[in-house]
Amino acid sequence: MTETQAIPAAFPFESKFVTVDGSKMHYVDVGEGDPILFLHGNPTSSYLWRNIIPHLSGQGRCVAVDLIGMGKSDHPDISYRYDDHYRYLCGFIDALGIGSNLTLVIHDWGSGLGFRWAHDHEQDVRAIAFMEAMIRGLSLDDMPGSLRLAMRMMRMPGTGWLMISAANIFLKKMLPDLTYAEISPEALAYYRSAFPTVASRKAILQWPRELPLDGSPADNAVVVEAYRQWLTHTEVPKLLFHGNAGVAIKEAEVAWCRENLSNLDVVDLGDAIHFVQETHPETIGSELSSWFARL
């Protein structure tokens, strides 16, 4: 499937803020009914879902949050480990009172957080839709050569700081390079506006170091393996989106999901890499809406 028109850059939502653990978290909140929570990853924000939310805002309460230290949320002086983000996300869900009959729509590190929350709160989860998601721990050997080298370097203390904080590689290179369709200058400018300085990039610097690669960091690997096991036996409805050039969800992962996850629907997006929302928002939105209506 290929979108035939330019991807709109406008963000037509009112910005809202809630205080969690002393810091403001930015979010959008539209529609009424059972909650649908959209979780982004690195280095994006709630802006990633701008063209998808309208497809569901007539069916439920659509909430998209900027993770702590990202988007328009505050950038407190914390370590930005996986556990930190999870603590703030749990606080956010509690503060908004959306932690019941919740549908999760998750991507990238948002999936690592969303799957973890679902594992910890199965009785409160209505369904999970995921794309380019962390369904298992990874190995450097799983990655193509250029990405493998970049990931190894980004996890090194000095080199990683130079690449991510100083050179801003995630926003200047990886975001556009890992999007099949060309992102408009306006959209790129919006994403980049969240990280104008070296100091503001602490969260995006830490995320590659949190990725459980070949079992390290060990604490994160344990969490991911626990929710992976849970996914293989829970009957919670699931919807998988995948493209033909995925980074986290490749052909082997699609096959694993089909073989091991029950109550699963699968949508093939065709030409897509990692930031599938910037290539196929109409398809994702319409398929999500149809799936949600059947729950």
- Any idea which residues carry the catalytic annotation? 108, 132, 274
Contact of 41 with 107, CB cutoff 8 Å: yes
Q: What are phi and psi of 45, to 5 degrees?
A: -160, -170
Contact of 76 with 9, CB cutoff 8 Å: no
Contact of 18 with 96, CB cutoff 8 Å: yes
Bridge partners (DSSP) of residue 185 are none
Residues in the chain: 295
Distance CA 219, CA 206 (A): 15
Distance CA 291, CA 274 (A): 22
Contact of 68 with 111, CB cutoff 8 Å: no
Sheet containing strand 35-39, edge to edge, reads: 16-20, 23-30, 61-65, 35-39, 102-108, 125-133, 238-243, 264-270
| Encoded tokens for 142 | 């799983």
Q: Give the pairing type, strands 16-20 and 23-30.
A: antiparallel
Distance CA 90, CA 20 (A): 9
Secondary structure (3-state) at 220: helix
Contact of 93 with 63, CB cutoff 8 Å: no
Distance CA 164, CA 161 (A): 5
Contact of 121 with 54, CB cutoff 8 Å: no
